[in-house]
Structure 1
Amino acid sequence: MTRAPGRRPGLRRRAASLTWKALAFITVMCCGLAALLGALVHVSVTNQTVSDARSRALGRLESATRAYEAGNRLPPDAEVDPPGLPRSLRALAEGGRRGTMVGVVDGHPTMWAATPADGRALAVRLDYAQSAATIEALDRAILGSSALAIGVTLTLGALGVTRVTRRLRTTSQVARRISAGDLDARVDDPRTTDPARYRDEVAAVAAALDTMASTLQRKLLSEQRFTADVAHELRTPLTGLHAAAELLPPGRPTELVRDRVAALRTLTEDLLEISRLETGSERLDLEDVRLGVLAERVAAHAGAGTEVRVVEDRCVETDRRRLERVLGNLVANAHRHGAPPVVLTVDGPVVTVRDHGGGFPEYLVADGPQRFRTEGSAKGHGLGLTIAVGQAEVLGAELEFANASGGGARAALRLPVSEG
């Protein structure tokens, strides 16, 4: 068989990459939103706390100023040129202006308020430790709640994203099975079969894929039935035509008629064989086969001009009739469309047929043989290679078509080998 597109090894890695990208996006968005909200709350509460402390300090500073101007005793928290007063606030007061500032005195946060007093600074101070502790507690609460919110959102997002990617992975697997020829494969997403359930974009893709597979299957079955019906209908008149041709008198015209009738009968039998192969009704009749001996038999049946080379002989368990059919078609195609010498090589479980002609067309190497296809004015490859591909699939073998580096077409059949 030609190599069908199998399961790509990077599928799970790409699906996982999509999941991680989505989760990373959710995480970044959550962290950004949490940071923005936390910053807004922190700034708002801090400004309010500082504003309240500043108002209290300025209120006490007013009382201290009145006592100073009246020559009365200053309150306990007021002093002229106190030693712990920040330099910038002292300079502000000595310059004739009033102001407030948060500083640290003996390791404790302190709110200072100062005003001019005869060229010096009259200042009051309040304990700011409680306010600072409130802000720190608020920051910890913001961090904790943000972490919790991010964790919950990430968990829910992971569940949602994983669910979607799992459905996408299932849909892609079904698509590859269909492309490999399994037209019975379906996604069968319940969201596409039950209108009462929620339909989303993934369900729409799955429904479209199932519809496409059903349509392809109906068309293929119709084509298979048509091929089989045509072949069956042709058998009866061709049998009569063959019998009538045998009654013709000897001569060149009779030989031409008999030759064309034989070609039509062969074509009809080939169509019937393709129909059976496509319906999957073929069954194997396994036996031990020595590949070297079978290659000699195929070469002898093909006539002169086929060289057999046995690099490593091998005995395999396979269907002898089908294997002869595959190799016979490959050798016949090499003689018909290639150029001598035609070499049939046995190298272990791999049997290769090579000619020295112009090689296979590019479409055949890329996509495998196609029925009756021609390339320009060149003669097509008929049904022989198509039947070889179908019989190889029944045998569980791999049939590859390529052009040899030294010129010519090369078809390699790799037979399965049982372990042990």
Structure 2
Amino acid sequence: MRARRSFPRRPAWTATLTWKSAVFITVMCCGLAAILGTLVHVSVTRQTVDIARDRALGRLTEVTRAYEAGDPLPPFAGMDPRGLPRALRALAERGERGTELADFRGRPTMWAAGPADGRALAVRVDYSLGAGTLTGLDRSIVGSSILAIGLTLGAGAFAVTRVTRRLHLTAQVARRITAGDLDARVDDPRTKDPTRPQDEVATVSGALDTMASSLQHKLQSEQRFTADVAHELRTPLTGLSAAAELLPPGRPSELVRDRVRAMRGLTEDLLEISRLDARTETVDLAVHELGPLAERVVRASGTDTEVRIVRDATVETDRRRLERVLGNLIGNAHRHGAPPVVLTVDGPVATVRDHGPGYPAYLLESGPQRFRTEGGGKGHGLGLTIARGQAQVIGAELAFGTAPGGGAEARLTLPEYVRFTTDEDTDEDQRAGPGDDAP
């Protein structure tokens, strides 16, 4: 079996629009420069060679006349001279005239030859000036092409960077909206003036702002509706609760009181969710030991929950809200899971685990959803929603997963309190000594 070859992964920056645009512009400029340079080189070379060929043929005509008249030949002419190309010599011996560009004594030379008494009468013309002209032209073409490519690439990169910067801003605003910041807007100046022409990026930015505004209005309307309904229910529920207490003892009275308590709990949960959605909650931060706080929450819950403290930690948090989060997680574990339920404290991480069927797939994928439960259990799906909202308020991270071996596991990671040691504290500890307690 042949091993599969693994190719190195390309850097992430090679996938950016700026990089792709730069490569495209560079390739196009190089291709265009190569085409234009080749056309110019071929055209100028042809013209230069034609001029040298005409000059050589003109000299050959003059030398032929001198030879026929019996005059001495000039230094640049001769019968079968050394250095004459073989193909041109054979052409002259066949009775034809022709020219050929070749090197003579290390210099480019244009040869012209014709028949003379069965031999080759040839002349040569120095082609160094023409060759130097072509060399200078090629250098100029290469230099101007590099300069043009550099200028075009710089201008293209500047233009593309402006576009990508606007796209990055739009993506950043979209991520902020996804995170819950419904006030985030792109506010592209091109979208504010309808008479100003808009490009595609401005169109996308305007559509995103419009979508965010519409979504914000709908969510605010739903939040106001939920808060209004909860507030309106509190008054009749208070009266209903008082009336239920006046009922004679019995099973019907217990059922009524139980349903009233459930309705009151649901109403309070709805009010709490509406406050969390409105993001108007204030945090009362203080320093607490997580282990004793977790034990207090278990005692207050009245459930058979095991507490394991692997490593205690000091956290800076809102005690009331943290107790609310842990209480909801413990209550959900007992309501929808199976015993034993274990609350583990390992540093600033508190984990609530049960040994039931685990969280449903939708919750693991997209988080808890209000008024949605599975498995036929009791509840409205508000406990975990409130726990997640309160965790966000206190700056903690709440993650839901499946425990090793099965069962649901909720992991709450809190910001750990770090005490900075000053020089005065160090001096006091040294004066106190290893066996004494510093005041």
Match of 2:255 in 1: 256
Shift in alpha-carbon separation, 1:272–1:58, aligned structure 2, 3 A = same
Match of 1:36 in 2: 35
Structure 1: runs of 5+ lacking an equivalent: 1-11
Identity over aligned pairs, percent: 72
Match of 2:128 in 1: 129
CA RMSD of aligned residues (A): 1.8
Whole-angstrom distance in 2 between the partners of 1:390 and 1:99: 95
Deviates more, 1:40-49 or 1:280-289: 280-289
Shift in alpha-carbon separation, 1:95–1:17, aligned structure 2, 3 A = same
Equivalences for residues 267-306 of structure 1 within 5 A? 267-306=266-305
Aligned: 1:201 with 2:200: yes
Whole-angstrom distance in 2 between the partners of 1:14 and 1:182: 28
Deviates more, 1:398-407 or 1:266-275: 398-407
Equivalences for residues 71-110 of structure 1 within 5 A? 71-110=70-109
Equivalences for residues 65-76 of structure 1 within 5 A? 65-76=64-75
Match of 2:177 in 1: 178
Per-residue deviation at 1:370? 0.3
Whole-angstrom distance in 1 between the partners of 2:291 and 2:42: 88
Return the TM-score normalized by structure 1. 0.93
Shift in alpha-carbon separation, 1:84–1:150, aligned structure 2, 3 A = same
Which residue type is aligned with residue 231 of structure 1? A
Deviations along 1:41-99, one digit per CA (max 9) or x if unpaired, are 00000001101111111122122223333434444533211122122211221222211
Q: Secondary structure at the match of 2:288?
A: strand
Match of 1:6 in 2: none
Whole-angstrom distance in 1 between the partners of 2:345 and 2:284: 22
Whole-angstrom distance in 2 between the partners of 1:277 and 1:284: 12
- Asked whether the 8 Å contact 1:15–1:169 carries over to 2, the reply is no
- Asked whether the 8 Å contact 1:333–1:381 carries over to 2, the reply is no
Which residue type is aligned with residue 161 of structure 2? T
- Asked whether the 8 Å contact 1:15–1:165 carries over to 2, the reply is no
Equivalences for residues 140-155 of structure 1 within 5 A? 140-155=139-154
Which residue type is aligned with residue 201 of structure 1? E
Tell me: higher relative CO, structure 1 or 2? Use CA pairs within 8 A at least 6 residues apart: 1
Deviations along 1:112-152, one digit per CA (max 9) or x if unpaired, are 10011122101111121211111112112111211111111
Whole-angstrom distance in 1 between the partners of 2:16 and 2:162: 14
Q: How many residues align?
A: 409
Aligned: 1:321 with 2:320: yes
Which residue type is aligned with residue 240 of structure 1? G
Structure 2: runs of 5+ lacking an equivalent: 1-10, 420-439
Match of 1:217 in 2: 216
Equivalences for residues 321-340 of structure 1 within 5 A? 321-340=320-339
Deviations along 1:232-259, one digit per CA (max 9) or x if unpaired, are 1111111111111111111111111111
Match of 2:344 in 1: 345
Whole-angstrom distance in 2 between the partners of 1:103 and 1:288: 93
Aligned: 1:53 with 2:52: yes
Shift in alpha-carbon separation, 1:313–1:395, aligned structure 2, 3 A = same
Whole-angstrom distance in 2 between the partners of 1:94 and 1:380: 112
Whole-angstrom distance in 1 between the partners of 2:305 and 2:256: 29
- Asked whether the 8 Å contact 1:27–1:150 carries over to 2, the reply is yes
Deviations along 1:154-198, one digit per CA (max 9) or x if unpaired, are 110111111111111111111111111111111111122223444
Per-residue deviation at 1:317? 2.2
